[in-house]
Amino acid sequence: MTRAAIRVEPITGALGAVISDVDLSADLSDETVAAIRHAWLEHLVVFFHDQDLPPARFLAFARRFGEVIEYPFVKGLDAHPEIIPVLKLPNEQINFGGVWHSDTTYLTVPPMASMLVAREVPPAGGDTLFANMYLAYETLSRGMQKLLEGLVAINSSANADASRTREDRMKDSARTDARQEYVAAHPAVRTHPETGKKALYVNVAHTVGFEGMTREESAPILQYLFHHQVRPEFTCRFRWRPGSVAFWDNRCAQHNAINDYQGHRRLMHRITLAGDPPR
């Protein structure tokens, strides 16, 4: 297949690229979708600017890459329940997702990917950080790699650092069918089903311990990994403007929404794409 002519500009050596010369609201050709997916797999997260994507068109774009699924805790838009608003109001102090994490690793089948489109952004601040979990794994010592390859990580939705970031939205838009807690066990190192590469698959927001160990025994290993996996040289930083889109691979990248815009409103729309059980 001939690859479509899109412009892909990496933004750091670790991960992230801006894609231009494409209108995501259009009916994209198979070649363009394939080119975007190729760039996404290579760079882990891709960004687009100045996109006019009302909810229906945003959903249409997302469905070219996978099955859209709903978020377990917060209700979506009335007309489009698969799209959840990621909102922080001027009076609120905590932002949604303001901690390093991979999305919903407390589910038995975590999502493949997530997409965000910016609707309203503060005059400054509100950037999002991303980190490369391939690099996080590859730069560990061989001894640590060997230890982790035999470990299964326990992930919980009730971990305090993560649950507090959704408290404001749970007050006004909680799903009535949400469980009190979701818990799932996944390999501490997962193999990406498309690239075949290994990625570190623990995160400070959701991983609470290792199977077969107490939390006290797990804690020193996890604390080391939580600091190691977000070293600056593994990361990139994205500045939003209205109409910006981010599309990241939840299987090999983490993200962290920076909470540095107190007194301002920020609204994003998020779509989640179905994944596969980590192996």
Find the catalytic residue in 103, 168, 192, 206: 103
Q: Which amino acid is at 119?
A: R
In DSSP terms, 190 is beta-bridged to: 199
Find the catalytic residue in 166, 169, 269, 270: 270
Distance of alpha carbon 163 from alpha carbon 128, whole angstroms: 19
Q: Is 101 a catalytic residue?
A: yes
141: which residues sit within 8 A by CB, 6+ positions away? Answer: none
Q: Is 255 a catalytic residue?
A: yes
Find the catalytic residue in 101, 206, 251, 269: 101
In DSSP terms, 86 is beta-bridged to: 268
Q: Which of 159, 156, 158, 153 is nearest to 229 (CA)?
A: 153
Burial of residue 132, with CB atoms counted within 10 A of its CB: 0-12 exposed, 13-18 middle, 19 or more buried: buried
Find the catalytic residue in 43, 255, 266, 269: 255
Distance of alpha carbon 38 from alpha carbon 160, whole angstroms: 36
Q: Which amino acid is at 151?
A: L
The CA-to-CA distance between both ends of the chain, in Å, stands at: 30
Compute CA 63 distance to the chain's CA centroid, rounded to the nearest angstrom: 17
Quick check: helix, strand or coil at residue 34?
helix
Token output for 79: 């007309």
Compute CA 246 distance to the chain's CA centroid, rounded to the nearest angstrom: 9
63: which residues sit within 8 A by CB, 6+ positions away? Answer: none
Active site residue ranges:
101, 103, 255, 270
